C-alpha cells in the first residue's frame, strides 16, 4: 500500500465488510438464518503490507478477534468495531457520530455536478453517488427492501424543478441550529435546548457545516424559515416544526413516516443532505 488512495480503498473495503458482518449478525440475533461473509482476500493483503496505516492494521486485528457467538455478542462486537473505525477515520466522522448516531437521520454528501444543485440532491437521495472524500454516511435504509417499491426510501422527492417550492434559504447561524436540533428524537427524550452538552452539540454542527466552505448556501424544508432565515431551531425544538414534505407517504412493513426536518448544504464542489425523520 503506497498511496493515500490505496489506503482509502482498503479502509472502504474494511468498512463495507464490517457492515455486511453486522447485518448478518443482526439476522442471527433475531433468530433468522444468515450467511456470515468471509473477509475479502484483498483486505488481508492490504493489512499485511509493510506501509499499511495503523488504523487499517487496528481494524483488521479487531476483525480477526471478533467473537462469532453467541449472536448478540457477535452483533454488539461487530457493531462497536464498525462505529469505532468510522470515528477514527476523520474528525468529521467523529463529530457526525457524536451528534447524530442515535436518532433516525439520513446524512450524506455528494459531488456538485449540475448547475441546478437539486439534481445532485436527488442523486444522493437515490444513493447514486459516493462521498467525494470517503467520509461518513448515516443511512439505515440503504439496503432496506422498501426501496423496491420506493427507490429513494424514505424519500419521495419531487423532480428537481419542484425543489424550490418546498425549500427556504437559511442564514448560516440558522443552519447550525437546524442541524443541532436533529440530535433530538421526535416526541422523545430531552430537548437539545435543555441538554448540558448544548455548546458541544452546536460546535459539532458548526464543524460539520464548515466542510462546505464560507460561501455555502443552506436550505431547509421548514416553513417558518420563509419568514425567518435566521430561525433558532434549538430554541423552538424539533416537535411542532411545520415542513414541506419530502418523505414517502407509503405505509411499508408497518412503519409510518410522520415527521421530518431537512437541511441541504450547497457549495461549488459538494452538496450535503441532513434529514431528521420521525416514524412509528
pLDDT computed for residue 274 by the predictor: 98
> What is the SS3 assignment for 22?
helix
Distance CA 171, CA 243 (A): 17
Which residues of the chain carry a pLDDT beneath 50? 1-2
Phi, psi of 61 (to 5 degrees): -65, -40
Q: Give residue for cell 464542489.
A: 269
> What is the SS3 assignment for 35?
coil
Cell output for 125? 437521495
pLDDT computed for residue 51 by the predictor: 64
Cβ contacts of 171 within 8 Å, gap of 6 or more: 218, 229, 230
DSSP 222: B
Buried b (16+ CB within 10 A) or exposed e, 42-76: ebeebbeeeebbeebeebbebbeeeeeeebeebbe
At 220-257, the pLDDT tens digits run 999 999 999 999 999 999 987 899 999 999 998 888 99
DSSP 39: P
pLDDT computed for residue 26 by the predictor: 92
CA 197 to each of CA 102, 174, 182, 194: distance values in angstroms, whole numbers, following the listed order: 15, 19, 14, 9
Is the entire prediction scored with pTM above 0.85?
yes
Are 221 and 166 spatial neighbours (Cβ–Cβ below 8 Å)? Answer: yes
pLDDT computed for residue 110 by the predictor: 98
HSE on the CB side for 279, CA within 13 Å? 21
pLDDT computed for residue 8 by the predictor: 87
DSSP 115: S
Q: What's the angle, vertex CA 85, arms to CA 267 and CA 136, rounded to 5?
A: 20
pLDDT computed for residue 7 by the predictor: 84
Amino acid at each position: 500500500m503506497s498511496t493515500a488512495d490505496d489506503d482509502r480503498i482498503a479502509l472502504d473495503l474494511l468498512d463495507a465488510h464490517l457492515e455486511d458482518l453486522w447485518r448478518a449478525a443482526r439476522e442471527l440475533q433475531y433468530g433468522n438464518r444468515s450467511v456470515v461473509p468471509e473477509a475479502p482476500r484483498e483486505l488481508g493483503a492490504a493489512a499485511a503490507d509493510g506501509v499499511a496505516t495503523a488504523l487499517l492494521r487496528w481494524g483488521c486485528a479487531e476483525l480477526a478477534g471478533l467473537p462469532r457467538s453467541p449472536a448478540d455478542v457477535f452483533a454488539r462486537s461487530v457493531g462497536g468495531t464498525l462505529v469505532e473505525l468510522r470515528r477514527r477515520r476523520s474528525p468529521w466522522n467523529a463529530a457526525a457520530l457524536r451528534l447524530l448516531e442515535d436518532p433516525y437521520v439520513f446524512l450524506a454528501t455528494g459531488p456538485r455536478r449540475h448547475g441546478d444543485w437539486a439534481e445532485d440532491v436527488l442523486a444522493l437521495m437515490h444513493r447514486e453517488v459516493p462521498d467525494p472524500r470517503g467520509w461518513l454516511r448515516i443511512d439505515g435504509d440503504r439496503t432496506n427492501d422498501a426501496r423496491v417499491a420506493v427507490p429513494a426510501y424514505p424519500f419521495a422527492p419531487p423532480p428537481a424543478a419542484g425543489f424550490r417550492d418546498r425549500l427556504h434559504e437559511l442564514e448560516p447561524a440558522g443552519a447550525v441550529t437546524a442541524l443541532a436540533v436533529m440530535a433530538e428524537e421526535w416526541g422523545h427524550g430531552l430537548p437539545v435546548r435543555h441538554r448540558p452538552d448544548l455548546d458541544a452539540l452546536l460546535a459539532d454542527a458548526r464543524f460539520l457545516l464548515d466542510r462546505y466552505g464560507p460561501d455555502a448556501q443552506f436550505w431547509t424544508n421548514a416553513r417558518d424559515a420563509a419568514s425567518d432565515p435566521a430561525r433558532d431551531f434549538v430554541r423552538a425544538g424539533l416537535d411542532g416544526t411545520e415542513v414541506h414534505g419530502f418523505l414517502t407517504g407509503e405505509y411499508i412493513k408497518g412503519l409510518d413516516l410522520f415527521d421530518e426536518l431537512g437541511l441541504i448544504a450547497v457549495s461549488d464542489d459538494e452538496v450535503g443532505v441532513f434529514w431528521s425523520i420521525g416514524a412509528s
